[in-house]
Amino acid sequence: MSALGRLLRSFALRTALLTAFGVLGISALGLGLGWLRSSAALEEALDSTIRAEAELLIGEFQRFGMIGLTRAVEARTRDRTPSAILVQLRLPDGRPVAGSARLSGAPAGLRGFVTLRAPEGPVRTLGIGISNGFTLLVAAEFGAVLDTAATLATTLLAAGAVAVLIALGFGLFMARGLQLRLRRVSEAAEQVMRGDLARRLPLAGSADEFDRLAGTVNTLLDRQEALIEGMRQVTVDVAHDLRGPLSRLRQRLEAALARARDPNADSAAFEAALSELDTVLGTFTALLRIAQLEAGPPLPPQEAPVVDLSALVTTLAEAYAVVAEEAGKRLEVHIAPDQHVHGDAALLRQMLSNLMDNALMHGGQTLRVTLRAGPVLEVADDGPGVPPEERARVLRRFYRLDRSRGTPGSGLGLALVAAVAKLHGAAPVLSDAAPGLRVTVDLSGAKARS
């Protein structure tokens, strides 16, 4: 489809045309109202002038009688200026006594204002009854008023036409700009659908609604790219990390099948095979648990159950104190009382267990567990720690430092910690314990209000 065809079918053009028609309608309404108001105002001004002249003539009649009034009417009739007032004095039967012949068409016994249509042009006429049945007619040219109103109407019409043209032109200009912006957005979206996950919607830099919408969509694309990249990485990591246990399992079973049956040897082979299977199943269980946690929304702060975090940490620390003692290590515990959060007690227990397992396995001789008011949970050790450039990576699934590859585990412990923390509106922060590693989880967002 040509650019003109797309423009003619665009919503933006329809909006521009609708705006232009709206301006046209408003202009037409304003034209009508303006003409009526201006005509009425000019007519009222002319009527005031006629009344004033009529009052002067009535004053002549009151001072000098009918003779004075007749002379005043004749004097007004001799006045040839273009703006002269027309007057006529009539007998009770309607015959003129003196005055302008242009008022001869006025009906007999006229009282009040009326507009007379005459060949020379319309005349605004006021009829006033005086003594003995005489009638005084006072009038003025009405054509100038109509011409002024027509001129005003023409001006308003021309202004309305110009406004419509400007609105239409501006609407077309805006429609063209909107079409270009939408086309760039559409092209970027098509590139993303074709597999270019790094492509983002363009921003105009104006911080308007379109830029804010594009920014929101770009954030969504960032998360989608991270999710797809994470899935790709998980697939690679699963294949890499499970290939070893499964290969060893196959080798053990092949070796058991190849040799002569020996109950003791077969039992040892089966136990080793079961151990390998337990490792594989444990990995899959952890992966499923992480996936479930990451797929779910954060727990609503006021709807989740209240957990006594101080009691939970105390109970778990007492259990791990025995484990640490058996491993020849020392556990230091500092717990602030009365720390409560909205959350899942089992998941919080799992998160703390993973942190303590990680510290016991990879740390030094001292393990420190601290629960500060906030609440803020902190687990630290005095081991070799994690280099700053590796701290974000160790929170990913299956990621392990080179020195840890010989130790038991699948590299999912800290990933599970991150998933549980996210579910509770927090994120683990890794820092230097000088020496060792410190993992801090700020749970103040899930704090239970007392």
Q: Rounded to two decimals, what is the model's pTM?
A: 0.49
Please give the Cα distance from 193 to 203 (Å, whole number): 19
CA 95 to each of CA 105, 120, 197: distance values in angstroms, whole numbers, following the listed order: 11, 21, 100
pLDDT digits (tens, 9 = 90+) for 353-365: 889 988 888 888 8
Which band of pLDDT confidence, cut at 50, 70 and 90, is reported for residue 405? low
Of 218, 213, 216, the closest CA to residue 201 belongs to 218
Check residue 271 and give its pLDDT.
80
- A 10 A CB-CB count for 372 gives 15
Check residue 203 and give its pLDDT.
79
- A 10 A CB-CB count for 184 gives 14
Of 362, 253, 341, the closest CA to residue 298 belongs to 341
Pairing of strands 306-308, 340-342: antiparallel
List the single range of 91-100, 297-306, 342-351 with lowest mean pLDDT.
297-306
Write out the E strands in 295-436: 306-308, 330-335, 340-342, 366-372, 376-381, 428-432
pLDDT digits (tens, 9 = 90+) for 417-438: 888 888 888 889 999 888 889 9
Left if phi > 0, otherwise alpha if psi is -120 to 50, otherwise beta: which for 297? beta
Does residue 294 carry a pLDDT above 70? no
pLDDT digits (tens, 9 = 90+) for 138-186: 888 777 666 776 777 777 777 777 877 777 777 777 777 777 777 787 8
Please give the Cα distance from 159 to 32 (Å, whole number): 13
The answer for residues whose C-beta is within 8 angstroms of residue 249's C-beta and 6 or more apart is: 273, 276, 277, 280
Check residue 155 and give its pLDDT.
76
